[in-house]
Amino acid sequence: MKALVGYDQRGQTAVKEGNHEVKRGFYAKLGALAVLACGVAPTALLAQDSAAAQATQIAVPGAIVRPASDGDALIDVATDGKSAIQIDVIALDGSDPVLKLLSARNRETVLAENDDGGGSLNARLTFDPATMPAALGADGHILLRVEDYRLEGVGKYAIITSTLDKLTPEKTLGYGSTETVAFLEGNRPRLYAFEAKGGDLVEIRLNAVGAAQQSDDDDSGSSVDPVLKVYNSPFPAIDPIQSNDDSPEGGLDSLLRFVVPATGTYFIAAENFNSDGGQATLSLKKAQPLPPPPAPTRLTTAQLGRGLCGEIGEDAPALDWFNGDQHYALYSVTGRREDVLTLRSSGDVAVQYGYMTPAGFAQVADGTDEDGESSDTRQLRWNKDGELHILVSGSTGSHFGLGTGTADQLQRCQ
């Protein structure tokens, strides 16, 4: 069991890195005194403490076995500077290696890390110079650090480096495209490319074709269980930047909505979770931003005192672009700076208070009551004179109650 101490993996690693640096700094100081006593220039010491002097060298493709050590191990990998590669660390003595990719400018900055990606307790990292140039040195080398999860020194392990094959997309899709995807037996993914600009709002759907999509507990219906993955690299071992199996809208079809992080080429992998053949429809579209939020419905403290019953209607505005079934009702109450109002709510909804802006809702508190015990009671506090907005969000058809009275007064809204 990995939780040997009361910290998560990141916390344990930070402790070890700190101890490692203290130890190295201590012996570096002793070494500096010895060097100066012998009349050797301090720059010679810096060269001995460099990454190149401490790292185990390996090329791509290649494999070596490294003996166990008391501390972390640095691995210097020579690449061609163009190809995507995979690095596997395979434990040979029951240890649990963690593999970290370091910045070429500062070897203490971790750009990516992996613990068990190679199966069992073995570590695996994939590196694409096109998507992570900060790790690539001017000489085409990358630097990695191997640690043991359990902070007991690094065990004996094998390092294997290999080049990844680049996949060629079957087709380049544009916004508004719809494609029929035929899955053969064996789960082979189908790869498509699309060009996008940073900031684009993208929606990708992969829906089973044929009989009604089967449910989790029903074997009838389509044999296709769609899975969507989006990559910013055509190398299949690189981790996807977005993925979805079962749509947030329900069912086994897949749906992705996301903001494109940067202008470039992206790759859609359409997969079937099942091993049987079948067909699915892949669609790609660019969505427009949500319209400006409507004006809030104004309430008075007298209205809230009597209790307000409401419902999230089908025509209610969407909460945000990413949650298709989440809508909201917006209210406002006028007050003066430092005024406080205790508001209670009922129903399967979320209630926040703050200010609605063109960019979305700006919440000014966490929504819990002053004792932090109930999310159904909130302390509304004005930080300036004027209107304070109350946002009630939930799925369409949700009933709710708002008021400053007792909880019993709001039960009639259920």
Query: Given this model, what pLDDT does residue 36 score?
Result: 30
The residue with greater pLDDT, 43 or 225, is: 225
The pLDDT score that the predictor gives to residue 322 is 79
- For the stretch 196-212, pLDDT in tens is 999 899 999 999 987 54
Dig out the tokens for 209 from the structure. 């074709």
Domain holding 347, by residue range, is: 297-413
Per-residue pLDDT of 175-184, as tens digits, reads 999 999 988 7
Q: Can you give the chain as a three-state secondary structure string?
A: CCCCCCCCHHHHHHHHHHHHHHHHHHHHHHHHHHHHHCCCCHHHHHHHCCHHHHCEEEECCEEEEECCECCCEEEEEECCCCCCEEEEEEECCCCCEEEEEECCCCCCCEEEEECCCCCCCCEEEEECCCCCHHHCCCCCEEEEEEEECCCCCECCEEEEEEECCCCCCCEEECCCEEEEEEECCCCCCEEEEEEECCCCEEEEEEEECCCCECCCCCCCCECCCEEEEEECCCCCCCCCCEEECCCCCCCCCEEEEEECCCCEEEEEEEEECCCCCEEEEEEEEECCCCCCCCCCEEECHHHHHHCEEEECCCCCCECCCCCCCEEEEEEEEEECCCCEEEEEEECCCEEEEEEEECCEEEECCCCCCCCCCCCCEEEEECCCCEEEEEEEEEECCCEEEEECCCHHHHHHHC
> pLDDT at position 365, please?
60
Determine what percent of the chain is predicted with pLDDT higher than 70: 78
Residues 192, 156 within the same domain: no
Q: Calculate the average pLDDT of the chain.
A: 78
Instruction: Determine the Cα–Cα distance for residues 332 and 353; give it in Å rounded to an integer.
Output: 9
pLDDT of 285 = 95
pTM: 0.58
Same domain, 247 and 315: no
**18 located within any domain:** no
- What pLDDT score does 162 carry? 93
Final residue before a domain boundary, out of 249, 264, 286: 286
CA gap 359, 349 in Å, rounded: 22
In tens, the pLDDT along 288-301 reads 888 888 899 999 98
pLDDT in tens, 101-152: 999 998 889 999 998 888 888 999 989 898 889 999 999 999 999 988 876 6
Do 276 and 319 have their domain in common? no
Pairing type for strands 123-127 and 62-66 reads: unpaired
pLDDT of residue 187: 65
Same domain, 238 and 144: no
Q: Is residue 3 part of a domain?
A: no
Q: Same domain for 250 and 301?
A: no
Q: Let me know whether 232 and 145 are in one domain.
A: no
Count of domains for the chain:
3
CATH code of 329's domain? 2.60.120
pLDDT tens for each residue of 254-270: 999 999 998 999 999 99
Same domain, 263 and 352: no
Does one domain contain both 351 and 271? no
Residue 30 lies in a domain: no
Domain final position from 163, 181, 196 = 163
Does 225 share its domain with 316?
no
Q: Is 35 exposed, middle or buried (0-12, 13-18, 19+ CB in 10 A)?
A: middle
Task: Please indicate whether residue 3 or residue 395 has the higher confidence score (pLDDT).
Answer: 395
The domain boundary, picked from 125, 143, 163, lies at: 163
**Is there a domain that residue 332 lies in?**
yes
pLDDT tens digits, 79-99: 999 888 999 999 988 888 999
- In this prediction, residue 211 carries a pLDDT of 53
pLDDT of 332 strictly over 90? yes
- 22: in domain: no
> What tens digit of pLDDT does each residue of 303-324 get?
888 888 899 988 899 888 877 7
Q: Give the pLDDT of residue 26.
A: 30
Whether 249 and 329 share a structural domain: no
Residue 175 and residue 154 share a domain: no
User: Would you say residue 307 lies in a domain?
Assistant: yes
Average pLDDT over residues 344-349: 88
**Residue 267 shares a structural domain with residue 337:** no
Question: Averaged over 241-264, what is the pLDDT?
Answer: 88
- Kindly report, residue by residue over 4-45, the tens digit of the pLDDT: 222 232 333 332 333 333 233 333 322 332 333 333 333 333
Report pLDDT for 34: 30
Q: Which residue has the higher pLDDT, 346 or 6?
A: 346
CATH code, 86: 2.60.120.380
Question: What is the distance between the alpha carbons of residues 295 and 363, in angstroms, rounded to a whole number?
Answer: 17
Higher pLDDT, 112 or 71: 112
Asked if the structure places residue 85 within a domain, the reply is yes
What pLDDT was estimated at residue 90?
93
Q: Is residue 391 part of a domain?
A: yes
